[in-house]
Amino acid sequence: MTKRLAKPRLAADSRVTVQLLGALLVVMIGASGVLADDDPPNTPAQADLVRQANAPISTIFQVRLLDSYAPQFSEVNGRGNTLSIALTMPLPEYRILPFPQLSLLTLPVAITVPGGVTGFGDVRFADIAVLDAGHSVLWGLGGTFVFPTASTPVTGQGKWQAGPAAAIAFAPEDWLLGMFAQNPISFAGDRERADTNALLLQPFASYQLGRGWFIRSQPQMIFNWKTGKQQVPLDVGVGRVFKVGRQDVSLFIEPFWNITHDGPAPRFGIAFGASLLYPDFWRKR
């Protein structure tokens, strides 16, 4: 009886996901038609805005909404979905320290794991000091922190964590290339939960196609020092930066596949996101 009831629910979830993706595509296509006649192609300001929209930690204030849906997992039955809100919060030099700082606060507001459990996840925060190496190269060092805020055991790790973070970015012409690395290590928390020590690598690459359009790839790799397990995805997406009234907006769709992994993990999935961009946030203050 349980299996008979699960089928309609699965179909309903699939329809909702397809509808959301379809709505996002309609918005992107509609926006492209509006902008085709109004926006000059490849202005320096627009090119920089596209770079910032695709940088994991950017130099402009952003509010990002990201949803990642995985319809199938390996070694376990069920579907998964993660909805998160992220804030990039750059601080200009001498605002606090004599060099720029780039911060990223991630709030996993709804994590659904195979089996149907949904809950709030662990809040993450990263902050790095940025230095200009010249020749279109930026690099930075700082720290990363994980707070055990999950509402259920299966949507979090139950550990307070802290560790190093580093980033490097290279922006030649229409490209943005770089790497964002974090290694949070547990130091307190639930004694019954396993200690954590994992390297999180996020290589990122984007190429501008003109008029705000871009292709991008930002796989989030995990290498667990404690267990020796790893997860290495491959992804590629397309998106656009445009204006809604006076508001700068970025939208993208990005399918992904896990090409290698240890233990239960999504076989494949699709991520779609929207960002509100505020390039003049600090100038107005």
Res. 39: pLDDT tops 70: no
Span 143-149, mean pLDDT?
Answer: 98
Contact 46/241 with Cβ under 8 angstroms? yes
205-224 residue pLDDT tens = 999 999 999 999 999 999 99
Domains identified in the chain and CATH numbers:
2-278 (2.40.160.40)
pLDDT tier for residue 35 given thresholds of 50, 70 and 90: very low
Res. 157: pLDDT tops 60: yes
pLDDT tier for residue 96 given thresholds of 50, 70 and 90: low
Span 144-173, mean pLDDT?
Answer: 96
Q: Which residue has the higher pLDDT, 254 or 14?
A: 254
Of the ranges 161-165, 188-192, 225-229, 257-261, the best mean pLDDT one: 161-165
Q: Which residue has the higher pLDDT, 28 or 214?
A: 214
Res. 27: pLDDT tops 70: no
Q: In this predicted structure, what is the pLDDT of residue 1?
A: 39
Residue that has been written with the tokens 């379809």 in this structure: 22
Q: Tell me the residue length of the chain.
A: 285
Residues sharing a CB contact under 8 Å with residue 31, sequence separation 6 or more, in sequence order: 240, 242, 244, 249, 251
Q: Which residue has the higher pLDDT, 100 or 80?
A: 80
pLDDT tier for residue 260 given thresholds of 50, 70 and 90: confident
Contact 35/49 with Cβ under 8 angstroms? no
Could you give the CA distance from residue 2 to residue 102 in angstroms, rounded to a whole number? 49
